[in-house]
Structure 1
Amino acid sequence: MDELIEKIILFRDERDWKQFHDPKDLALSISLESSELLELFQWKSSQEAIDQHHSDMRDEIADVLIYTLTLAHDLNIDVKNAILQKINKNAEKYPTAQFKGSSNKYTTQND
């Protein structure tokens, strides 16, 4: 993961783009790229969208991840650690015995 982030940051820094990458603009870019990914599914079934736009989906997912990893880097967030901590939080919030096979969202009533 570190090598990938280093490549992303090197790419950005070689072009002197850090000046445009404040946290707010990176967060906006994540949202915009996510919307571009979502647009590929508009008015189609999931399978139709995948069949028609798989390579575009790969590019949009890459854009989302590039901006996300850049933001995490700039905020000094260890992505691997953050993900592992979030998985642990979700495991506590959604115990297997109570939520397996269920799409129910957590509420305080589930305690």
Structure 2
Amino acid sequence: MTDDADTRSAEEIVAGEWRFLLDGGHDLIDTETVRAAHARPRLRQLFPLVSHGVLYFSGCTGMPAAHTGGQVHPRGADGRYRVAGPKGVGTLGRTETLYEAFALVAGNLPEECGPAVLGGAGHV
């Protein structure tokens, strides 16, 4: 890690990760999904993570992640998106569009959920 990286704020790190994903820098998720999530201001302040085509969010910039909000899974056999809770537990609902799915995720964030902080889950 460089000195430059050590001085970046959580906000800068979060914004950089969003830019990377919006520019198609991750081959495990499509940019349409990332754009739909990024359209939600409350989600945009969280650190975005990707695993197996699923976008999820952390309240911190490091590892271990502090999972918050829900996850939007790719279209299922019924043609809808499944919105799961944090860490994929439970189902918050099923939606027709990605924008509806991420609205559901944002609407289920805890009230006290604020911008991501530096460090791992122990810092949240």
* Shorter-chain TM-score above 0.5: no
Which structure has greater strand proportion? 2
Larger Rg: 1
TM-score computed with the length of structure 1 as normaliser: 0.34
TM-score computed with the length of structure 2 as normaliser: 0.31
* Higher relative contact order structure (alpha carbons within 8 Å, sequence separation ≥ 6): 1
